[in-house]
Structure 1
Amino acid sequence: MRFRTTLATLLLTPLILAGQPAAAATPVTIAYAQRTQTWELVLTNGDVVEVPEALTKAPADAANAGAQAPFLVSGDGRHFFYYRKSDGLFVERTLNSTERVVSRRITAFAINEEWPLVSDDGSYIVVSTSAPGLGVFVDLRKGKTLPLPGKTDAWGFNGFSPDGKRLLLSGDRLTVFDRGLRARTRLKTGLYPTALANDYHTAAVPVGKWEKYRKLRLLNVRTGHASRTVTVRLPRGQYIDDLDFDQTGRLIVRSKTRTGVAIYRVSKASGKVTPLRTIARPDVKVWVLPGDSSYEKWTEK
């Protein structure tokens, strides 16, 4: 039987088994979030933590009243983000911390007009908009909202490096920025990569028909050299729904299945896939995995 509690209770409860030294305890992180009557966190030890402070829908005075309110979990499973009911501000939290406002410029009024994106370590936020373009850049380590790079919002967001130290944006040039939004590398290319490795110059590009990608190329954003097209050997009926690099530079694909999500490591040379794990979809209307954006293919029933 799973233990169910509220986050307020959890803040008063150590996440270490009694009698065990802290160094030996397995860290408890967020396996996924789900929405029932309220948002809930399902932890890696099976416990369920309710987050009643989080909005589930945009309020009546929002631009898109009633739209689903985003709830995000960082890729490391340690940080979560939501629009809070009390004032509509977008806040960050961990299992052992109180709320921290990300930026007063990110509010529930703009739900479904703006979409926050979170780095794997939960320390950097970028907001994409319906303009199109990008709106707010926030470095939570420094507690700073940064001015737009090049003083323009005419950027497309391509991805964070896994370590959160670089951002890949597209404009008239594909550009790698550091956390301070200083340009490090620029490249003119017709390719649109969606992931950047921790070497800060290897990017991954899905190839094929949108929503049915089964191929990819690797792009060197310093030299402009692109690899040959590699077919990813996914099971029949599965596609590249999410493409990324892990901390060691290996290619990782997440793919929707009939029962949930499958995660694979992909050979850059042959496209052969190695299954890493599968996650069964819970029987709820909405669920969110660590590293998800505001919408992912597998969130559909």
Structure 2
Amino acid sequence: MRFRTALAALLLTGTTLIGSPAAAAAPVTIAYAQRTQAWQLVLTNGEVVEVPEALAKAPKDAVNAGVRAPFLVSGDGKHFLYFRKSDGLFVERTLNGKEKVVSRRLTAYTIDEEWPMVSDDGSYVVTSTSAPGVGIFADLRTGKVLPPPGHTDAWSFLGFSSDGKRLLLADDERLTVFDRGLRARMRLKTRLAPMALANDYITAATPVGTWPKYRKLRLLNLRTGRAKGTVTVQLPRGRYIDDLDFDQAGRVIVRSKTGTGVVIYRVSTATGKATLLRTIARPDAEAWVLPGDNPYEPWTERKSKASQE
């Protein structure tokens, strides 16, 4: 559930900023990925890069043959991850880099049974499973795949901190903040289920209401266990909190699906005021992925699962 500033040099209203001095000086990153017949990367300079080696659908021998294969872009817009056609392994790449296998345990056979999520810096992958529970914890910087904390998969993965240095997991009514080596740094017993962790590793944000029509949120202090009062986010009628996050400065960011794409707001946790940051128009593609998306956000497919319910 990560969305950062990879689009800042590209889209404010759906128009590419080609030729402006500011855009020319900015480093080129991935604005989004899209899939027509095959996966493509659309860069912040308007260039389109084909990724023909990425699976579009789960193969015939997979548990869920024919379903959409996950394709991820890290929140910083520098890394992309996919199941490759040659052997079905899940790999990570940068625009100018070589493929790096995340884990040989994560294969196309388990597509739609195991869901990968990547930190904003593209260097850590966690999977949730249909068990339910967690699967792998892969630190791409060290090349290590770590066993689940406590050697049990009975955890729910709630998210990374914005800087990718901490992981927030839940076990029944217990929240635990882990570092990248899966050493516990903080524990709290609570019934709340946060969706985001700030870079102070103490402040968490949780939506309030009934899924998927969240319009309220509250903050939780993981050190003291105190939760602030519920705040109603001042979204336009018919829009909801589809994704919740913190930016690098600790401000709450909300993404909301629209009929034509996604809008991103910065939200005051004191008043609920929602300040529009940008509007992103959906491309004419079968599926699309924004930097920081989980495998199946409400807007990723032309007709999402959420819209069909």
TM-score (norm 1): 0.91
Residue 296 of structure 1: aligned partner: 297
Tell whether the 8 Å contact from 2:261 to 2:282 is kept in structure 1 after alignment: yes
1:68 and 2:86 aligned: no
Residue 208 of structure 1: aligned partner: 209
Cα distance in 1 for partners of 2:70, 2:159 equals: 18
Cα distance in 2 for partners of 1:237, 1:184 equals: 39
Q: How does 1:1-301 map to 2 (within 5 A)?
A: 25-172=25-172, 173-301=174-302
Cα distance in 1 for partners of 2:46, 2:201 equals: 36
Report how far residue 299 of structure 1 moved: 2.1
Report how far residue 25 of structure 1 moved: 3.6
Report how far residue 148 of structure 1 moved: 1.1
Q: 1:17-59, CA deviations, whole angstroms, 9 ceiling, x for partnerless residues?
A: xxx9xxx842000000000111000000111000000000111
Could you list the runs of 5+ residues in structure 2 that have no partner in the other structure?
A: 1-20, 303-309
Cα distance in 2 for partners of 1:129, 1:256 equals: 25
Report how far residue 286 of structure 1 moved: 0.4
Amino acid of the structure 2 residue aligned with 1:46? G
Q: 1:171-207, CA deviations, whole angstroms, 9 ceiling, x for partnerless residues?
A: 0310000000000110110000000000001000100
Q: 1:80-118, CA deviations, whole angstroms, 9 ceiling, x for partnerless residues?
A: 000000000000000010111011010000000000010
Report how far residue 300 of structure 1 moved: 4.0
Amino acid of the structure 2 residue aligned with 1:114? E
SS in 2 for 1:150: helix
Cα distance in 2 for partners of 1:44, 1:32 equals: 9
TM-score (norm 2): 0.89
Q: 1:244-295, CA deviations, whole angstroms, 9 ceiling, x for partnerless residues?
A: 0001100000000121000000001001011110100001110000000010
Cα distance in 1 for partners of 2:229, 2:154 equals: 30
SS in 2 for 1:163: coil
Cα distance in 1 for partners of 2:207, 2:25 equals: 39
Amino acid of the structure 1 residue aligned with 2:28? V
Amino acid of the structure 2 residue aligned with 1:228? G
SS in 2 for 1:297: coil
SS in 1 for 2:65: coil
Cα distance in 2 for partners of 1:138, 1:87 equals: 19
Percent of pairs identical after alignment? 77
SS in 1 for 2:186: strand
SS in 2 for 1:298: coil
Cα distance in 2 for partners of 1:106, 1:128 equals: 11
Q: Give the aligned length.
A: 279
Cα distance in 2 for partners of 1:300, 1:56 equals: 13
Q: 1:204-241, CA deviations, whole angstroms, 9 ceiling, x for partnerless residues?
A: 01000101000001000111000000000011110000
SS in 1 for 2:299: helix
Tell whether the 8 Å contact from 2:219 to 2:228 is kept in structure 1 after alignment: yes
Q: 1:135-187, CA deviations, whole angstroms, 9 ceiling, x for partnerless residues?
A: 10001111110111011000001110000000000003100000000001101
Cα distance in 1 for partners of 2:298, 2:236 equals: 17
SS in 2 for 1:233: coil
Amino acid of the structure 1 residue aligned with 2:247? D
Could you list the runs of 5+ residues in structure 1 that have no partner in the other structure?
A: 1-19
C-alpha RMSD over aligned residues: 1.1
Cα distance in 1 for partners of 2:131, 2:297 equals: 21
